[in-house]
A = this chain, B = another copy of it.
Amino acid sequence: VRTFRLVLEYDGTDFDGWQVQPKGRRTVQGCLLAALDRVGGRDLRVTGAGRTDAGVHAEGQVASVRADTRLGAYGLQRALNGVLPRDVAVLRARVAPDAFDARRDALSKRYRYDLWNGATRSPLRARRSLWVPRPLDLDAMRRAARVLIGTHDFACLQAAGSSVKSTLRALSRVDVAGEVGGAVRLEVEGSGFLRHMVRNAVGTLIEVGHGRRAPESIGALLATRDRSLAGPTAPARGLTLAVVRYPAESIEKPGS
Residues of A within 8 A of B (CB): 9-11, 57, 59, 77, 81, 86-92, 120-124, 126-128, 240
Which residue on chain B has the smallest CB distance to residue A119?
B91
With a cutoff of 8 Å between Cβ atoms, the chain B residues found around residue A89 in the complex are: 120-123
With a cutoff of 8 Å between Cβ atoms, the chain B residues found around residue A128 in the complex are: 124
Can you add 6 more A-B contacts, CB < 8 Å, to A11-B123, A89-B120?
A9-B123, A10-B123, A11-B124, A11-B127, A124-B128, A124-B240
Verify B81–A9 contact, CB threshold 8 A: no
With a cutoff of 8 Å between Cβ atoms, the chain B residues found around residue A92 in the complex are: 120
With a cutoff of 8 Å between Cβ atoms, the chain B residues found around residue A88 in the complex are: 123
List the number of copies, as a whole number. 2
With a cutoff of 8 Å between Cβ atoms, the chain B residues found around residue A77 in the complex are: 120
Which residue on chain B has the smallest CB distance to residue A90?
B120
Could you write out 29 A-B pairs with CB less than 8 Å apart?
A9-B122, A9-B123, A9-B124, A10-B123, A10-B124, A11-B123, A11-B124, A11-B126, A11-B127, A57-B124, A59-B124, A77-B120, A81-B121, A86-B121, A86-B123, A86-B126, A87-B123, A87-B126, A88-B123, A89-B120, A89-B121, A89-B122, A89-B123, A90-B120, A91-B120, A92-B120, A124-B128, A124-B240, A127-B127
Which residue on chain B has the smallest CB distance to residue A240?
B124
Q: How far is the CB of A222 from chain B (nearest CB, A)?
A: 33
Q: How far is the CB of A129 from chain B (nearest CB, A)?
A: 12
Interface centre among A88, A90, A121 (most CB of B within 10 A): A121
Q: How far is the CB of A132 from chain B (nearest CB, A)?
A: 15
Q: How far is the CB of A90 from chain B (nearest CB, A)?
A: 7
**How far is B122's CA from A65's CA once the two chains are assembled, in angstroms?**
21
**How far is B124's CA from A255's CA once the two chains are assembled, in angstroms?**
35
With a cutoff of 8 Å between Cβ atoms, the chain B residues found around residue A11 in the complex are: 123-124, 126-127
Interface centre among A11, A87, A92, A120 (most CB of B within 10 A): A120
**How far is B90's CA from A124's CA once the two chains are assembled, in angstroms?**
12
Interface centre among A89, A90, A121, A123 (most CB of B within 10 A): A123
With a cutoff of 8 Å between Cβ atoms, the chain B residues found around residue A90 in the complex are: 120
Which residue on chain B has the smallest CB distance to residue A87?
B123
